[in-house]
């Protein structure tokens, strides 16, 4: 159990690996709690600038652990599980660090929720995506009702959720669910390369951008209020002064997250 979610660091990039190969990395209650705790820690870690989320073996995540659904539980017991998945959604979509999902094989159910909550998705050309919650008699979880339409639009979201159909990587790319295709077996490395590029920008504005989109920027007024609330403070940061000095000195800036 202790290694069901593995965290490795490569420079300023944290690679979070769902690690239960026997179940295609299906998310048990224990895995969800571990993933939630790890994301909270990583988003609070000033040394980490970007997060790559992936799965061990040949698959990203097959969804929720069905074996854990055999035993009947009360409504109260079920409600007690929701805050964990909600925290994961908030940490992925509104947390301080850019998140890239590296998808091999299946991303189904809750696995699709993780993908949809990411900022960028690198997909193997052989990956498969599905949201068969309805076939299990359940609602989409982990914020998918909000995050999926943000990526592919409401009509296509309804099509996926109402049919529970499977789409391939090319269809996912065309819809906007996946952002970049790669050869099978290369998603993790391509995602890490991209994550390193994401570390080129100062961390504070990246965190504000993510939290602002998660909170909702639906009008021009929302965007302008975000600028008014945050830009004056950013002008006072050491990272801004360092960026100006580095530009004039023709060197790469060294950001301190301050």
72 plus 31 within the same structural domain = yes
* CATH number, domain containing residue 114: 3.90.226.10
| Gap between the Cα atoms of 249 and 70, Å rounded | 63
107 plus 154 within the same structural domain = yes
Q: What is the spatial order of strands in the sheet that 106-108 belongs to?
A: 106-108, 128-130, 166-168
223 plus 112 within the same structural domain = no
Inform me whether the pLDDT recorded for 11 exceeds 70.
Answer: yes
211 plus 240 within the same structural domain = yes
By C-alpha distance, which of 92, 192, 231, 194 is closest to 150?
A: 92
Summarize pLDDT for 205-241 with one digit per residue, the tens. Answer: 999 999 998 888 889 999 999 999 999 999 999 989 9
Confidence band, pLDDT 50/70/90 cuts, at residue 2:
low
pLDDT of residue 258: 80
Residue 209 lies in a domain: yes
Boundaries of domain holding 239: 203-249
pLDDT of residue 137: 84
Residue 254 lies in a domain: no
The reported pTM is 0.91
Percent of the chain scoring above 90 in pLDDT: 75
Residue 108 backbone phi and psi in degrees, to 5: -125, 150
Which CA distances in Å does 110 have to 129, 144, 149, 182, 206? Answer: 11, 9, 16, 23, 26
126 plus 239 within the same structural domain = no
By C-alpha distance, which of 23, 19, 25 is closest to 4?
A: 19
49 plus 146 within the same structural domain = yes
| Domain count of the fold of the chain | 2
| Gap between the Cα atoms of 38 and 16, Å rounded | 8
Q: Kindly state the tokens that stand for 58.
A: 């040949």
118 plus 63 within the same structural domain = yes
| Gap between the Cα atoms of 154 and 175, Å rounded | 11
Summarize pLDDT for 109-149 with one digit per residue, the tens. Answer: 999 999 999 999 999 999 999 998 888 888 899 999 999 99
Contact 36, 5 (CB under 8 A): no
89 plus 153 within the same structural domain = yes
Contact 167, 160 (CB under 8 A): yes
Q: Which residues pair with 61 in a beta bridge?
A: 107
């Amino acid at each position: 159990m202790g290694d069901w979610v593995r965290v490795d660091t490569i420079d300023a990039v944290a690679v979070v690996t769902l690690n239960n190969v026997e179940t295609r990395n299906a998310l048990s209650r224990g895995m969800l709690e571990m993933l939630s705790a790890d994301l909270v820690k990583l988003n609070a870690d000033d040394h980490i600038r970007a997060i790559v989320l992936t799965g061990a073996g040949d698959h990203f995540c097959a969804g929720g652990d069905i074996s854990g659904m055999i035993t009947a539980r009360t409504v109260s017991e079920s409600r007690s599980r929701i805050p964990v998945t909600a925290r994961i959604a908030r940490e992925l979509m509104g947390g301080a660090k850019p998140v890239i999902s590296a998808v091999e094989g299946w991303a189904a159910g809750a696995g699709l929720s993780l993908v949809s909550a990411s900022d960028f998705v690198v997909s193997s050309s052989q990956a498969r995506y599905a949201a068969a919650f309805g076939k299990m008699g359940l609602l989409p979880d982990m914020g998918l009702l909000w995050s999926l339409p943000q990526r592919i639009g409401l009509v296509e979201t309804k099509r996926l959720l109402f049919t529970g159909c499977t789409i391939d990587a090319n269809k996912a790319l065309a819809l906007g669910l996946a952002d970049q295709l790669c050869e099978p077996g290369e998603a993790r490395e391509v995602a890490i390369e991209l994550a390193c590029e994401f570390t080129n920008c100062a961390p504070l504005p990246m965190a504000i951008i993510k939290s602002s989109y998660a909170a909702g920027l639906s009008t021009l007024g929302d965007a302008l209020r975000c600028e008014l609330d945050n830009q004056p403070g950013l002008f006072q940061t050491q990272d801004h002064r360092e960026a100006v000095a580095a530009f004039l000195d023709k060197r790469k800036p060294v950001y301190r997250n301050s």
